Amino acid sequence: MSILSGMLRGVLALDDRAQAVDYKGQWYSWGSLKGTVDSICGNLQQLGLAEGARVGVMMRNRPDNVAAVLAAVAADGSIVSINPLYPDDRLCRDIESLQLPVIVTDASDLERPGVLDSILKAGSAVIKLNPILGTSELLPGFEQVTGDNIVATNPAVIIEMLTSGTTGTPKRIPLQRAAFETSFLSALSYEKDRKADDPPQLRPGISLLTNPMTHIGGLWGALTTILGGRQLCIVEKFSVEEWRSAVVRHRPKVASAVPAGLRMLLDADIPKADLASLVAIRTGAAPLDPAIVREFWSRYEIPVLQNYGATEFSGAVAGWTLGDFHKFHEAKSGSVGRFQPGVEGRVVSPESGAVLEYGEEGVLEMRAAQFGNGVEWLRTTDRAMIDADGFLFIRGRADNAIIRGGFKVHPDDVVAVLEQHPAIREAVVVGIDDPRLGAVPVAALILRAKALRPSDSELTGFARQHLLPYQVPVRFLFVEDVPRTPSMKPALPQVRELFGPVGQSS
């Protein structure tokens, strides 16, 4: 039994009747959560899956899907994240490629067009979740693993976490079990009045799960809350009213929201009394406009504490503490905070790799035990500066990925789809600044000879058939040609200028 599975089983055995999970205003007990986790573990045993078995989980923010993640942890399995936000055809291709022995999901995703056919083609078994926190079952017709090319186990990896990547198609990052547990226990030890070796116990306080579990931040939040013995309020999809209602209902001391959500909260002008319990709001996943931090502080006197991390890092590696905020938030405006204990950072020249002095801008490199790569420096794709006080400033991306409200969009993926349209000869996709979402994708398009110009609504509909919602461009601009470099490649900075000043993205 691993450290995390032991922690989970200890917490689940404490008090069956105590309240554990709030979902849409309804409480569910620790006993109900344990019952579903045990049921899924029993299904895994029926399938004869050994320790380290790869368990595919549809990552929805629902109690049963959280229980599926916990069951994989309890069974010392290797979680394989599956993104239910994919369009049907893309989800089906992903399922067929994963070579999974089993997929855990509820009826809503099994009923989507082509999904069962793709699972059958892959030869995976299916554990069906019966809401809410009921018993699970092996789906009739899918009670056995039948695939010829199944990769059944991956014991050294705790999560194959899906990410959109920074160079090319989305990929799964294998988070090493030993490194993840080290990072996890280290994070727990930072909590007030808590040590990593404390016995299992139910603790006061409630955490809001508002970030999607398809992101490492959402998954990390769910795991730390439940294994820490605290209550969890699950918000399936962020909205101002859902977030506000959860805060008013539970009066937490800390809540979280991505930068785009923070802007929506400010625009909604929530009464100060509704947020009176909050001593801080945590945020991450995307660049944060310092103006948002200033406005929350001036209007509500609530510190916004940004962190910096990624799937490849097994979570956050830098961030603001409450003490640092009160001491430095004006002087260090725009910083993502300081490196966490155990994480080293430096800035290097992108050309020579030479280490740069404090205050100089270059490419960020880091090393830490949680990366699972020994003592090697990990080079990021972020332009950064570290000042003499150790505060990290992220200046932008060294690649051309677009971060739209916390979701990463790679332009090449969007270009490949747009150029499938019969009227489009060439597409160039860039990101432009957006005051609400940070950045949004836009597309400059060149028509094929004699082709009729399609309408924006037609192009949007076409894109939505093949892309995730956040990948669809917000504007289409038809041009005779795009600005180009001497080598005839599109000159991306000049292409951005075609779309006008900042703030005209929508």
pLDDT tens digit string along 326-352? 999 999 999 999 999 889 999 999 888
Evaluate whether the domain defined by 206-397 bears CATH number 3.40.50.12780: yes
Nearest-10 Cα torsion for 92, 98, 102, 107: -20
What pLDDT, on a 0 to 100 scale, did the predictor assign at position 488?
61
Helices (H), 368-421: 411-418
- The CATH class for the domain spanning 3-16+25-178 reads alpha beta
Instruction: Work out the burial of residue 331: count CB atoms within 10 Å of its CB; fewer than 13 is exposed, 13-18 middle, 19 or more buried.
Output: exposed
What pLDDT, on a 0 to 100 scale, did the predictor assign at position 478?
96
Instruction: Work out the burial of residue 120: count CB atoms within 10 Å of its CB; fewer than 13 is exposed, 13-18 middle, 19 or more buried.
Output: middle
Q: What is the DSSP letter of 454?
A: P
CA nearest to 319, candidates 256, 244, 409: 256
Q: Who's near 153: CB < 8 A, 6+ residues apart? A: 49, 50, 51, 52, 53, 54, 78
Q: What is the pLDDT along the chain (506 residues), one digit of tens a residue?
A: 888 999 999 999 999 999 999 999 999 999 999 999 999 999 999 999 988 999 999 999 999 999 999 999 999 999 999 999 888 998 999 999 999 999 999 999 999 999 999 999 999 999 999 999 999 999 999 999 999 999 999 999 999 998 754 333 557 889 989 888 877 877 765 566 677 678 899 999 899 999 889 888 889 899 999 999 999 999 998 899 999 999 999 999 999 998 878 988 998 999 999 999 999 999 987 778 898 999 999 999 999 999 998 777 877 889 999 999 999 999 999 999 999 988 999 999 988 899 999 999 999 999 987 787 777 899 998 889 999 999 999 987 777 788 899 888 888 889 989 999 999 989 999 999 998 898 999 999 999 888 999 999 999 999 999 999 999 999 999 999 998 865 567 888 889 999 986 444 44
Q: What is the DSSP letter of 453?
A: P
Residues written for the chain = 506
User: CB of 93 within 8 A of CB of 113?
Assistant: no
* Residue range(s) of every CATH 3.40.50.12780 domain in the chain: 3-16+25-178, 206-397
* Candidate CATH numbers 3.20.20.140, 3.40.47.10, 3.40.50.2300, 3.30.300.30; the one for domain 402-497: 3.30.300.30
What pLDDT, on a 0 to 100 scale, did the predictor assign at position 196?
67
What pLDDT, on a 0 to 100 scale, did the predictor assign at position 506?
43
Instruction: Give one word for 57, left, alpha or beta, with left for phi > 0 and alpha for psi -120 to 50.
Output: beta
CA nearest to 342, candidates 301, 370, 314, 379: 370
Global pTM value: 0.81
What pLDDT, on a 0 to 100 scale, did the predictor assign at position 88?
94
* Residue range(s) of every CATH 3.30.300.30 domain in the chain: 402-497
CA nearest to 462, candidates 87, 42, 59, 9: 87
- Which strand ranges, in their side-by-side order, compose the sheet holding 475-478? 424-434, 438-447, 475-478
What pLDDT, on a 0 to 100 scale, did the predictor assign at position 172?
87
R_g (Cα) of the chain, nearest Å: 23
> CA 286 to CA 263: how far, in whole Å?
13
What pLDDT, on a 0 to 100 scale, did the predictor assign at position 385?
96
Residues 32-62 as b/e (b if ≥16 CB within 10 A, e otherwise) read bbbbbbbbbbbbbeebebeebbbbbbbbbbb
Joined tokens for residue 75? 């069974």
User: CB of 49 within 8 A of CB of 23?
Assistant: no
